[in-house]
Structure 1
Amino acid sequence: MEHTEMTVGDLIDLLSACDRGAPVRLAMNPFFPMAHRLTQVVQADDGRGQPVVYLAEGQDPDSQLGPVPPEVAVALTWQGPVQAPPRRARRTARRADGQ
């Protein structure tokens, strides 16, 4: 099975539907989803003469922002939707004299 990578054109098409003033975040690691602040875009050669673009977080210690919101992890299919367990009837406490 051939792996298809997202191209710069694909990224531009997807970003064109977004608010131009919104900050950009990287969602990393589906098993421990964290958000990172995007600070750099670098184009380089992939070693075979083909251009490749890298999106990177900065070296600032505040570049990692913490866990991604649960709805983002669900939208990325990294986590399934979680529903609260059904409520059970509350138990009543018994008095020490058995009443």
Structure 2
Amino acid sequence: MKDKEMTVGDLIDLLAACDRSAPVRQAMNPFFPMAHRLERVVQCTDEAGQTVVYLAEGRDADTQLGHLPPEVAVLLAWQSPAQPPPSRPRRTAGGK
């Protein structure tokens, strides 16, 4: 069964709760999460005749902003929360 696609109306509803002056970024690639700056919104018709809206990144070299902050990847369920390694006794200089 195909998941329901997000519509422009769904996106507007989600964005309505956000700070209107905040920059818009796109999180991409859950296996190597990166943040990208959005530049354009393009509406067209796909091969099935359905109207589709695309959010596109820019072409400038600084469009890819770097790694997605870990807390965002966790909120998107792309990564598990990081757990500190278990503590263990330190070795002494004598090797014991």
What is the aligned partner in structure 2 of residue 16 from structure 1? 16
What is the aligned partner in structure 2 of residue 93 from structure 1? 93
Larger radius of gyration: 1
Alpha-carbon distance between aligned partners in 1 of 2:62 and 2:2, rounded to the nearest angstrom: 37
Alpha-carbon distance between aligned partners in 2 of 1:27 and 1:9, rounded to the nearest angstrom: 20
The alpha-carbon deviation at position 86 of structure 1 amounts to 2.2
Residue correspondences, number: 95
Alpha-carbon distance between aligned partners in 1 of 2:46 and 2:3, rounded to the nearest angstrom: 16
Alpha-carbon distance between aligned partners in 1 of 2:10 and 2:3, rounded to the nearest angstrom: 15
TM-score, normalised to structure 2, is 0.92
**One-letter amino acid of the structure 1 residue matched with residue 30 of structure 2:** P
| Deviation sequence 1:17-43 (CA, Å, 0-9, x none) | 111111111100010000000000000
Q: Which runs of 5+ in 2 are unaligned?
A: none
Percent of paired sites with the same residue: 72
Say what the alpha-carbon RMSD is for the aligned residues. 1.4
Q: Which runs of 5+ in 1 are unaligned?
A: 95-99
